[in-house]
């Protein structure tokens, strides 16, 4: 139900309410939105505020404003978010959580399989990706290319071509998501190191053929990313109320940092 707006930035409030109405199915794909005049009356704002809100939604690919016809809700399929996922983050932040949920389903199992199946060549590719991530950080970049390469190398180490193909098909979306989340880490040396250390725990479990620990380490890593997104975008936790600590599981040993090489070694190289 539309509620009168009581916020300083009226157009932003209208955008948020319209997004909720679209997501909840009040205005499903193909539906024509009420005219500006009617929306302004229902929201209790000026037509200018409604017009600005509709412009934002149109720019985000949520609606199509047709001259002389009105505004129509567009289909929110996954392809609409590839590659302009930054826009989708603004439009539907919950899509990021959906992406992370999908990644968790695929990548925790991938890490477990990689620990069972990876050969020397596959392990070397994972380690190479970790080094690439470090090189990017040292060059002042966010590290999204190396991060993606790491997760793709883990998938490749499963030896499952269908899983590799699935990861490849969403790689643009995943990388843009990484660019956003890793970008928030710039200047935060502690979190930058944590990301590397999380990768290293996954790698060590794969290298030493510890499947359950590899799965748990990947779940821990993606869980921290999910919590970061929820916190920074002020999103509600998942409906099941699961916290990041609960993702660790009993007896995994991944909840506390292990003794791993710093991503920024001083005077000596990593001792992996």
Residues 6+ apart with CB under 8 A from 82: 170, 172, 173
Beta carbons of 54 and 36 less than 8 angstroms apart: yes
Q: How many other C-beta atoms can be found within 10 angstroms of the C-beta atom of residue 32?
A: 13
Q: Kindly indicate the confidence band of residue 227, based on its pLDDT and cuts at 50, 70 and 90.
A: confident
Q: Which token pair is 59?
A: 């720019």
Q: Kindly tell me if the per-residue pLDDT of 239 is higher than 50.
A: yes
Q: Kindly indicate the confidence band of residue 3, based on its pLDDT and cuts at 50, 70 and 90.
A: low
Q: Which token pair is 130?
A: 């970790």
Beta carbons of 248 and 220 less than 8 angstroms apart: yes
**Residue ranges, CATH 1.10.10.10, the chain:** 10-76
**Residue ranges, CATH 1.20.120.530, the chain:** 94-248
Chain segment 244-259, per-residue pLDDT in tens: 443 333 333 333 333 3
H or E stretch at 18: helix 10-23
DSSP 35-64: PHHHHHHHHTS-HHHHHHHHHHHHHTTSEE
More confident residue, 112 or 169: 112
Residues 251, 246: Cα–Cα separation, whole Å: 12
CATH number, domain 94-248, options 1.10.357.10, 3.50.50.60, 1.20.120.530, 1.10.3720.10: 1.20.120.530
Architecture of the structural domain at 10-76: Orthogonal Bundle (1.10)
**Three-state secondary structure call for residue 66:** strand
Residues 226, 103: Cα–Cα separation, whole Å: 11
Q: Kindly tell me if the per-residue pLDDT of 77 is higher than 60.
A: no
pLDDT at 191: 82
- 187 sits in the region (left: phi over 0; alpha: psi -120 to 50; else beta) called left
pLDDT at 174: 81
pTM, rounded to two decimals: 0.57
Q: What percent of the chain has pLDDT over 90?
A: 44
Chain segment 124-161, per-residue pLDDT in tens: 999 999 999 999 888 888 888 899 999 999 999 999 98
């Amino acid at each position: 139900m539309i509620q009168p707006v009581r916020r300083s930035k009226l157009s932003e409030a209208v955008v948020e309410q319209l997004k909720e109405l679209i997501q909840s199915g009040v205005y499903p794909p193909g539906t024509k939105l009420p005219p500006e005049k009617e929306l302004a009356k229902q929201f209790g704002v000026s037509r200018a505020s409604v017009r600005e809100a509709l412009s934002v939604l149109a720019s985000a690919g949520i609606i199509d404003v047709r001259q002389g016809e009105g505004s129509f809700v567009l289909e929110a399929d996954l392809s609409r978010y590839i590659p302009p996922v930054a826009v989708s983050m603004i439009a539907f932040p919950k899509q990021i959580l959906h992406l992370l949920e999908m990644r968790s389903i695929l990548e925790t199992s991938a890490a477990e399989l990689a620990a069972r199946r990876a050969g020397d060549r596959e392990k070397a590719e994972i380690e190479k990706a970790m080094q690439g991530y470090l090189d990017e950080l040292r060059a002042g970049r966010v590290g999204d290319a190396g991060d993606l390469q790491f997760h793709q190398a883990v998938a490749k180490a499963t030896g499952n071509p269908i899983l590799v193909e699935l990861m490849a098909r969403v790689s643009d979306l995943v990388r843009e998501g990484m660019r956003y989340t890793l970008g928030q880490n710039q200047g935060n040396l502690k979190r930058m190191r944590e990301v590397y250390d999380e990768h290293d725990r996954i790698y060590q479990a794969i290298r030493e053929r510890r499947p359950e620990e590899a799965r748990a380490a990947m779940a821990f890593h993606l869980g921290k990313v999910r919590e970061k997104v929820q916190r920074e975008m002020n999103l509600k936790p998942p409906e099941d109320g699961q916290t990041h600590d609960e993702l660790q599981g009993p007896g995994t040993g991944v909840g506390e940092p292990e003794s791993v090489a710093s991503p920024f070694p001083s005077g000596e190289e990593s001792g992996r």
